[in-house]
Amino acid sequence: MSGRTTALTPPADAGPPVRHPEAPAPGEIIGSHYEYCFGCGGGVAHGLHLETRAGEGVNVTAEFTVREAHQGAPGLAHGGVLATALDETLGSLGWMLRVIAVTGRLETDFLRPVPVGTELHLTAEAVAVHRRKIYCTATGRIGGPDGPVAVHANAMFVEVKIDHFIDNGRKEEIQAVMADPDQVKVARAFEVNP
Ligand SMILES: CCCCCCCCCCCCCC(=O)SCCNC(=O)CCNC(=O)[C@H](O)C(C)(C)COP(=O)(O)OP(=O)(O)OC[C@H]1O[C@@H](n2cnc3c(N)ncnc32)[C@H](O)[C@@H]1OP(=O)(O)O
């Protein structure tokens, strides 16, 4: 046993998340953080192509249309793909806090099947911060932004520095990213020095 608590309930001394003064303005589209990200990258043919918008607080919204390539059962979205959509939307909260954060834990409830062709309306919100840990939730609704909930997640993201990617990513992709001025701009937006 590691002694680590895996609870997704923030500890009593956690604080509220604080919207960074330079967070994208409410309604502003948060661009893809990486062209080859399966969740948001334009360079992944069968990816989710999620487009996320900043909310007014430490929250974001996004839409994702389920396509044939996303099926698990015939005509229905794969659960892992739906979890990815939640994960990706949650990942965008880093822009609102101006930190880079990766998923530590993601607990997903699948409440309704999601047919191919459905537009999933996603929201994500940070609820508490404790040291490097960001506690957050995400919801995907069908039939409109106020439609019935199809999927819901409680999650805990952990803040990391750019070294997390440099140290762990494959060399080819890391070198390509560092040679791309647009990508370096993304990294700078998080006030990190690549
Ligand atoms: C170039 C530009 C790039 C831009 C990139 C933008 C990328 C955005 C991508 C978005 C894409 C979408 C999103 C994606 O898909 S992100 C991809 C999926 N996620 C990952 O690959 C993360 C893999 N895991 C790790 O790298 C490490 O385990 C991390 C970094 C998470 C922690 O290891 P690290 O050694 O650093 O820290 P620590 O172990 O001291 O832990 C720190 C604290 O956290 C607590 N804890 C940890 N894990 C868990 C857990 N499972 N349950 C409960 N608690 C957990 C821990 O108890 C401790 O708490 P406390 O002691 O402080 O109380």
Q: What's the pLDDT at 186?
A: 76
Single-letter amino acid, residue 27: G
Task: Check if 30 has its Cβ closer than 6 Å to any atom of ligand 1.
Answer: no
Query: Residue 191 — pLDDT band, cuts 50, 70, 90?
Result: low
User: If you ran DSSP here, which 8-state letter would residue 18 be given?
Assistant: -
182 or 91: which leads in pLDDT = 91
Q: Is 133 helix (H, G, I), strand (E, B) or coil?
A: strand
Q: What's the pLDDT at 156?
A: 98
Q: Cα separation of 108 and 139, whole Å?
A: 10
Task: Check if 2 has its Cβ closer than 6 Å to any atom of ligand 1.
Answer: no
Task: Check if 91 has its Cβ closer than 6 Å to any atom of ligand 1.
Answer: yes
Helix, strand, coil proportions of the chain in percent (round to 5)? 25, 30, 45
User: If you ran DSSP here, which 8-state letter would residue 27 be given?
Assistant: T
- The CATH code belonging to domain 29-160 is 3.10.129.10
pTM: 0.95
Model confidence pLDDT, tens digit, residues 72-108: 999 999 999 999 999 999 999 999 999 999 999 999 9
Q: Which tokens is 54 given?
A: 């900043």
Express as a percent the part of the chain with pLDDT over 90: 87
Which among 158, 174, 185 is the best mutation to test ligand 1's pocket, defined by most ligand atoms within 8 Å of the CB? 158
Q: Cα separation of 187 and 177, whole Å?
A: 10
Residue 194 confidence (pLDDT) above 50 = no
Cβ neighbour number for residue 34 with a 10 Å cutoff:
17
Q: What's the pLDDT at 27?
A: 98
